[in-house]
Chain A
Amino acid sequence: MIKLLDKAQDPSHDSARTHVRGKSEFIDDRPMVAGELHVGVVFSTEPHAKILGINTDAALAVPGVVGVYTAKDVHHNLWGTIIQDQPLIADDVVRFVGEPVAVVAAETREAMEHARRLVRVDYQPLEAILSVRAAIAAKSFIAGERSIARGDVRAALASAKHRASGTVKIQGQDHFYLESQCSIAYPREDGQVEVHSSSQHPTEVQHVVSHGLGLPAHAVVCVVKRMGGGFGGKESQGAPFAYFAALVATRTGRAARCVITKDDDMVMTGKRNPFEIDYTVGYDDDGTIVGLDARLYSDGGAYADLSTSIMERAMLHSDNAYFLANVKITGQVCRTHVHPHTAFRGFGGPKGVAMIETVLEDIAHRLGIDPLDVRKRNVYRGPDRDVTHYGQKVENNLLPSLFDAIEQRCDYRARREEIRAFNARSKTQLKGLSITAVKFGISFTTRFLNQGNALVNVHQDGTVQVSTGATEMGQGVNTRIAMVVAEAFGIGLSSVRVMATSTEKNHNTSPTAASAGTDLNARAALTAAERIRARVAKVAAQLFELPEERWPSRTAGLGTMPEIEIDQATAPDDIVFEGGMVFRRSNPERWIAFSKLCREAYLSRVQLGDYGYFKTPGIYFDKLSGQGEPFFYFTQGVACSEVLIDRLTGELEVRRVDLLMDLGRPVNASLDLGQVTGAFVQGMGWCTTENLVYDDKGFLLSHSPSTYKIPSIQDTPRVFDVHLVHNEGNTKNVRSTKAVGEPPLLLSLSVWTAIKDALHSLAPSDRTLALPLPMTHERILLAARSLSAARS
């Protein structure tokens, strides 16, 4: 049975107090230093063309302009996280509208903007591929086709009692982080450069900058204090902008600031990959899936970026919460002439899950069975139906009980009846109800990324600074790390500060992504803290044996006592760190303040800083065979959404959402709940209002919030009941917690399937609805109209 966690009053985000006062420093809030330059990017207006020439004379003549740089100025002009196929500045060919072709540096923003418009580029247009289907026809692909399979799909489909096929069309999504891409670079002595970047991946920034400039890695430091939102959009794509600033800084010897406007950011940077998925499913009378053959195509855009990994995760999540006995999932990334698409919260997961959830909805509609019952029939359940199509057992499986719990909590059956009656009566409105689940695999599927390191410095007053490779983008990773470290030392949270991320303190860091920021970095920090704790515990044990007047603080200056020596000492196992005090469990009366102990330890020449390292154990995945145990564990959840549709206007209202999430033993449940509601509403946008509209050149027309509509406060479900469930079984992870960043986003698909449920009430049972994603108001309107017309 599922038990809910009580809502706790947890510490606020470590930046909350500066955020609410407008005192948190973001990149463009940094004061201008003397001589600082503004850097702008001239980008391609053609989707695919040969560059015949670039004329910079007029731009250079603008007063205040100090330089215009092109591909000629780049040292090593190819980058890419997985496959190096993307120029930093387009060389002889441009491959998408928005691709950088020149970089302008000027003394004022106005001069920079003016000059940017005066750089003249002559193009000879080449044929452009602007859709997934066109790419398939032209065999324009990125990397090869991959597949994951189990059983005999062909036979299973052939002998299935029922079969259905269809296509799911999924559009992209803009990250719409509020702080657009930005970086500042400061030239430092002896050819070094210090880059401050709004990036989820400082190590990649360091690498891209050093390659692009022809510098060794140790000449480049990347610092990330915080981001005004990331969501995956700054995992790889922050790097070129950092490079542009660094290029100008090293060329001119002046600080250089590259801050992109929202409009240009949206045109230039890639989105969540669009997908088109063709499937055939076979199922029994009771809705059990007996075979699924799905071909996933994604639009990778012009360059590889992270698209192959994203596809892999889509394939690994095409099962979602459901057991597929015979299955073949194939995936192919297409190369087109739009901005290179990239990571976005959930990575490929939401696309695979959208497919299977809509397939289940169709099966239910055709069989006339409640969709919840079809889901329950297919859910992973031991002992025979709990191994995924890639061969990993679903351990600590809460899914069946989560379905039962949500059904009870949200009064599903009664509301189902009410809605049926409502839809039969109402001429103007329709309601829909749907429950979907998520089972999200935690770990990078690329094994080497699953490592982290941390530096912990304890000062003589007992305050602690922690540095890790994790970057803070609002998710609260720093707060969680600080809590874990504070707990290890038994001190108050205010005594621990997590410092800006910097590649000079932490080396070879992984991106803060895959929801794994806390898992990797808090564990590494904990390792370092535990080492320090073990050493100061030994100091404490010896202090307790000495009268206070012989403690180092009284004697070390004069050197009248032998030094406390810990190297040979055995670790005491009964020293307790609690409430800022350190004592023996057997004698709590004799205690020493942690701060005081640190001073005594320092005077005893005991090392008060340390370095921790962590790599996730036991994970592997053979990308070629599609088999392995890629995930450390799964985060799971369920949600039930109710929508109200105006049949005459297509307007949609998400009336009520009930949501249950298994996050193990949360470090900070309040921050986790914020991740859940934030991810859900962000996903709702992808499912409903966020419509990327391109023109016939692949130029993004909806490139600002006036036309690209993310959810507003009015779209938040009126009733939004979110709970975490009790689960202490994830003992292998740090503090038995579970990652939260991405998984709840996938539950927003319940809104999309609820829209489908509503429209199904207008559709005869032999008609399945191929609804695209997102379902905008207009699409709902037209679907309702054509179904009503077909009926009358």
Chain B
Amino acid sequence: MRDAIVLYVNGARREVRGAAAFLTLSDWLRYEQRLTGTKVVCAEGDCGACTVLLGRRSGDRPWRFDPINACILTMAQLDGAHVLTIESVESNGALHEVQRAMCDNHGSQCGFCTPGFVMAMLGHFEHNPKERATPKQVANHLTGNLCRCTGYLPILDAAVDVRPEALESVVARHHSTQIESALDAIARDSLHIEDPERGAVHAPATVSELFALRAKHPDARIIAGNTDLGVMVNKQKLWPAGTARRAISLHLLHELDGVKVEEAQVTIGARATLGEVERAVKDAAPDFSRLLRVFASPQIKNAGTLVGNVANGSPIGDTIPSLYALGAEVELSSARGARWVPIDQFYLGYRKTQLAEDEVVTRVRFAPLGDKALFRAFKICQRRDLDISYVGAAFYLAHDGEVIREARVAYGGVGPTVLRLRDVERMLAGVALRDEAAWERVAEAIERAVTPRSDLRGSEEGRRVLSGNLLRKLGYELRGEVFA
């Protein structure tokens, strides 16, 4: 059992114990390490100014460095990881190619967003060092970074100007197999830090240890990617995990890693990040993968987990309608054993689930689509990217090429939980795919069935109209009536 977090920062080993273990990564870097190049603007994962590269092992796969938001990660999660900050990018005062391109293309004005952009861009080029980037690729990688000065055009120009032949790997400069083996060894030992002021954090190294801890501390909060929790902690200034004084972090549990794609089943572990899921299900559930493309930002998806989205149970959790429509099941496990629960039975009310006190969610699974089925998911926001939906929806339609045989329809953002619209599903069964009038009747029924409320993301009326329209939109798509 360890009482210190061990991590590497820009190639150097650091140990963190006591109260500092409860800081966010960005505060620790800025105020404890005096690495002030990492900026904090929003402290909620929405602007990217705090972007750093996080290197760690995922399952038995090689180490991978990806951009994440330092402002919402808690130090405990960095145990066993290697963090690269903006300070690591230059070498002996010489600019890295990404930095050169940003200078030459006037990609920074006030400069406050700039370190975050450089790190996010670097994340792209570390994985794609051989080709010039296209503006579209770049934009997809920089969705998590806000700039208020440039209008982004000069930043896009900069990224496109990065010359593969001049690129040097920053990861290679600072990282090594020695560091990997040192950290892999550390990660086999569980972690426990207590602080009289702030509470406690545990990181079990085995699943059985996890179940024991869970049973012993039913009030403890599970930390997966911390993208929901970190925001709550920052905004309410509550340590270490929202309202709880005790947290159990899953970061050492490689048993919960990974996405397994088999012919009959896709199984997603509790530690699989949304980014991993997006990449893994591209073929098995392309429309679900496409939904994840517009989910949050790359930084959030590199930290946040799909199971975290499910366990968090928000009525606007974006994966949930899709998982309803895909007929997914959730695995709840404890020292007593494991049980699979259909997802539409998992939720009991507003942010209330079936999870017993001693249980954790360990996996989610669903069957890949057959060729006579159609699946379509929507996420509608006030800004097209990096925004929380005000209405989300997913449709699963099994058909024989002409007529719908079976339908599953789920909506988020229009009720206290994600809603499965069973009456609507019944109406859809037997409807011809191209019968516009019938589809219109269903759309109207959806508008009657949903129970939205007004809040700052949208009005009741807007949500109602949108709910019907999403089915109409699907109808137009199926009939080939959408063109641009």
Please list the residues of chain A having a beta carbon within 8 angstroms of any beta carbon in chain B: 12-13, 15-26, 28-29, 31, 110, 113-114, 117, 175-180, 226-231, 261-263, 425-429, 473-476, 644, 646, 648-651, 653, 670-671, 673-674, 676-682, 689, 691, 693, 701-702, 704-707, 709-716, 720, 722, 776-778, 781-782, 785
Contacts and interface: CB of A to CB of B under 8 A. Distances in A.
B43 A713 contact: no
Contacts of B107: 20
B111 A476 contact: no
B369 interface: no
A681 B151 contact: yes
B143 interface: yes
A710 B42 CA distance: 13
A179 B151 contact: no
Interface in B456-484: 456-459, 461-462, 465-466, 469-470, 472-473, 476, 481-484
B108 A678 contact: no
Q: Determine which residue in B111, B153, B469 has the highest number of CB atoms from chain A within 10 A of its CB, and name it.
A: B111
A178 B113 contact: yes
Contacts, number: 245
Contacts of A680: 151
B95 A21 contact: yes
B341 to A, nearest CB: 30
B237 interface: yes
Interface stretch (B31-39, B248-256, B319-327, B402-410): B31-39
A20 B114 contact: yes
Nearest to B239: A110
A285 B223 CA distance: 68
B103 A12 contact: yes
Of B42, B385, B476, most buried by chain A (CB within 10 Å of CB) is B42
A228 B143 contact: no
A655 to B, nearest CB: 9
Contacts of B47: 178, 705
Contacts of B459: 778
Q: Which 5 A-B pairs have the closest CB atoms?
A: A22-B37, A474-B110, A228-B112, A19-B111, A474-B109
Contact of B382 (A175, A176, A648, A778): A778
A619 to B, nearest CB: 29
B152 interface: yes
B364 interface: no
Nearest to B136: A718
Interface stretch (B83-91, B162-170, B275-283, B345-353): B83-91
B44 A644 contact: no
23 contacts: A13-B108, A20-B115, A21-B99, A113-B237, A175-B148, A179-B41, A262-B41, A425-B483, A428-B482, A648-B470, A674-B109, A674-B150, A677-B154, A678-B109, A678-B151, A679-B151, A680-B151, A682-B151, A689-B383, A706-B42, A709-B382, A712-B146, A716-B151
Given A20-B99, A476-B109, A648-B470, A714 B481 contact: no
Contact of A427 (B148, B154, B156, B481): B481
B118 A20 contact: yes
Given A21-B86, A427-B476, A179 B106 contact: no
Given A713-B142, A713-B152, A716-B152, A785 B114 contact: no
Contact of A17 (B39, B103, B385, B470): B103
B171 interface: no
A782 B461 contact: yes
Q: Which of A474, A644, A651, A715 has the most CB of B within 10 A?
A: A474
**Most B Cβ at <10 Å: residue of A18, A693, A781:** A781
Choose among B90, B155, B465 the residue with the greatest number of A CB atoms under 10 Å from its CB: B465
B380 A649 contact: yes
A143 B46 CA distance: 40
B384 A13 contact: no
Contacts of A228: 39, 110-112
A226 B231 CA distance: 29
Contacts of B380: 649, 651, 777
Given A15-B111, A22-B37, A178-B112, A428 B473 contact: yes
Contacts of B231: 706
B414 interface: no
A712 B153 contact: no
Nearest to B117: A20
B381 interface: yes
A110 B35 CA distance: 20
Contacts of A427: 476, 481
B390 interface: yes
Nearest to A712: B385
A390 to B, nearest CB: 32
Contacts of B108: 13, 15-16, 19-20, 474
B155 A713 contact: yes
Contacts of A177: 110, 112, 148
Contacts of B150: 674, 677-678, 681
A428 B106 contact: no
Given A226-B110, A228-B110, A649 B466 contact: yes
* Highest count of chain A CB atoms <10 Å: which of B35, B47, B138, B145: B47
Contacts of B388: 706
B146 A705 contact: yes
Nearest to A668: B106
A689 B381 CA distance: 10
A110 B198 CA distance: 11
A24 B111 contact: yes
A782 B148 contact: no
A425 to B, nearest CB: 8
B220 interface: no
A176 B41 CA distance: 10
B387 interface: yes
Contacts of A429: 482-484
B55 to A, nearest CB: 19
B154 A648 contact: no
B201 interface: no
A681 B152 contact: yes
A651 B391 CA distance: 13
B386 interface: yes
A176 B142 CA distance: 18
Nearest to B41: A178
B102 interface: yes
A712 to B, nearest CB: 5
Given A23-B37, A702-B456, A778-B458, A261 B43 contact: yes
Contacts of B461: 782
B469 A179 contact: no
A63 to B, nearest CB: 10
A716 B156 contact: yes
Interface in B356-407: 378, 380-388, 390
B423 interface: no
A691 B455 CA distance: 13
Contacts of B35: 22
B306 interface: no
B144 to A, nearest CB: 9
B382 A22 contact: no
A504 to B, nearest CB: 24
B473 A713 contact: no
A12 B482 CA distance: 45
Contacts of A229: 110, 112, 148-149
B481 A715 contact: no
A693 B456 contact: yes
A693 B156 CA distance: 31
B49 interface: yes
Given A26-B112, A428-B473, A476-B109, 7 more contacts: A16-B111, A20-B118, A22-B85, A178-B112, A179-B110, A262-B41, A722-B153
A650 B457 CA distance: 14
B261 interface: no
A561 B107 CA distance: 54
Given A428-B481, A649-B470, A705-B146, A674 B106 contact: yes
B385 A180 contact: no
Nearest to B231: A706
B103 A16 contact: yes
